[in-house]
């Protein structure tokens, strides 16, 4: 029996991996799997060698403070992969963890094929990493067409598979009426998947909700959580006694609630693509400690954090980062958009045009599964 080890580093990668494995099981059922994964992979029967929460550190300083724990996890993961002896090591995103593991595995067992899904953003920072990747990555799966030139330049085998969040905006038929108060306007809030993000962003977002409630009682707020951080979100939110705010974690319900939203406030990240793909106007927010911010600012090559803004080289979606990431600025920006529907429409139109230019013609998960099946056959 052929074997695939699936290596993720955070919830978004766990979700992507589960989609690919689901497709792969339809193509080839005779494969044994093991992983570093979370609830998504677990839900389709793929066991993880440890809890994904143990490695979801964020920011340079957090990594430095936990460097010995991280090294220990990297070495343990390498040992377990070597014991498992897979035909393919399928790594997803989180390159500072996954590709460090992959490099070590390749040195010990050169026969293992390394296939990486979600290429590191070398077009934003640390382009010099490409020469290193060339030494151990067998195939790089790209989310965006414009990434291809960077990997072609170093003769790294690559395939554009498209971004899974842009595949379609079909809404599953779920009755969400029991979640939605009729006559209320919905604002979706995405505070992040890591507890370290929640600890920083949730208090700010809760204060934003309070400011909105002082202005009007016509809004309903939905905090989009993951299965892993739902209880933490609920615990923090329950202390505030907000009758018009609730936490949701079911993927289909979240998708439906978002589709019915008037506006969204989201942590900077890939979720912004899903929001834009559903034609929902939004802003993005993010805040890390000052030292991390200074380090990141000195390394990045682009002016913006959001991919749509980067592609357009302008702030199509407002970015409230660092000092601007506070409840007052969020409130003022959201209210300004709500008072100017023409600005919301303009953002939606630009986003739609941009996304149409970068979408793939087929399913990203399916394309990735086909490539994996070729290596395994």
- Are 260 and 212 members of one domain? yes
Number of domains composing the chain: 2
What phi and psi values does residue 284 have, to the nearest 5 degrees?
-120, 150
What's the pTM?
A: 0.78
Rounded distance between C-alpha atoms, residue 18 and residue 21, angstroms: 5
**Residues 98, 221 within the same domain:** no
For 88-113, the pLDDT digits (tens) are 999 999 888 999 999 999 999 999 99
pLDDT digits 0-9 by tens, 114-141: 999 999 887 666 677 888 899 999 999 9
Does some domain include residue 254?
yes
Q: Is residue 180 part of a domain?
A: no
Cα–Cα distance for residue pair 222/210, rounded to 1 Å: 14
* CB count in 10 Å sphere of residue 196: 15
**What does DSSP assign to residue 161?**
-
Work out the mean pLDDT of the chain and round it to a whole number.
89
Residue 305, phi then psi, degrees to nearest 5? -95, -30
Regarding whether 61 and 197 lie in a shared domain, the answer is no
* Residue 259: domain span: 185-358
Among 56, 50, 92, which Cα is nearest to 75's? 50
Computed on alpha carbons and rounded to an integer, the radius of gyration of the chain in Å comes to 21
* Domain co-membership, 140 together with 92: yes
CB 240 within 8 A of CB 211: no
Token digits of residue 24: 């792969």
- Whether the pLDDT of residue 10 is over 50: the answer is yes
The two counts, helices (H) then strands (E), for the chain are 16, 12
Dump pLDDT digits (tens) for 249-290: 998 899 999 999 999 999 998 899 999 999 999 999 999 877
280 class by beta-carbon count within 10 Å (0-12 exposed, 13-18 middle, 19+ buried): buried
Statement: residue 60 has pLDDT above 50: no
């Amino acid at each position: 029996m052929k074997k695939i080890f699936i290596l993720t580093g955070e919830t978004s990668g766990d979700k992507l991996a589960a989609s690919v494995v689901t497709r792969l099981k339809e193509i080839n059922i005779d494969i044994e799997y093991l992983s570093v994964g979370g609830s998504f992979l677990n839900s389709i029967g793929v066991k993880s060698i440890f809890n994904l929460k143990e490695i979801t550190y964020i920011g340079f300083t957090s990594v430095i403070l936990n460097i010995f724990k991280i090294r220990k996890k990297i070495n343990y993961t390498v040992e377990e992969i070597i014991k498992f002896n897979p035909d393919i090591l399928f790594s997803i995103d989180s390159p500072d963890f996954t590709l460090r593991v992959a490099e070590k595995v390749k040195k010990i067992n050169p026969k293992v094929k390394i296939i990486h899904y979600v290429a590191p953003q070398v077009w934003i920072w640390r382009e010099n990493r490409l020469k290193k990747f060339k030494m151990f990555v067998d195939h790089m799966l790209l989310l965006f067409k414009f990434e291809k030139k960077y990997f072609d330049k170093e003769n790294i085998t690559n395939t554009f598979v498209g971004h899974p969040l842009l595949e379609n905006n079909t809404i599953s038929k779920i009755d969400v009426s029991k979640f939605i108060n009729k006559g209320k306007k919905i604002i979706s809030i995405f505070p992040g998947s890591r507890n370290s993000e929640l600890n920083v962003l949730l208090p700010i977002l809760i204060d934003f909700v309070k400011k909105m409630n002082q202005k009007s009682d016509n809004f309903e707020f939905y905090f989009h959580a993951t299965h892993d951080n739902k209880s933490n979100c609920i615990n923090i939110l329950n202390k505030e006694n907000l009758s018009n705010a609730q936490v949701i974690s079911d993927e289909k319900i979240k998708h439906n609630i978002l589709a019915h939203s008037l506006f969204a406030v989201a942590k900077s990240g890939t979720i912004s693509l899903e929001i834009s793909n559903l034609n929902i106007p939004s802003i993005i927010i993010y805040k890390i400690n000052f030292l991390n911010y200074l380090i990141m600012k000195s390394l990045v090559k682009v002016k913006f954090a959001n991919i749509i803004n980067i592609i357009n080289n302008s702030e199509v979606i407002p970015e409230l980062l660092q000092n601007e990431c506070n409840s007052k600025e969020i409130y003022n920006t959201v209210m300004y958009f709500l008072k100017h529907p023409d600005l919301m429409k303009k953002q939606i139109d630009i986003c739609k045009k941009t996304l149409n230019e970068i979408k793939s013609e087929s399913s990203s998960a399916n394309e990735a599964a086909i490539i994996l099946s070729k290596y395994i056959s």
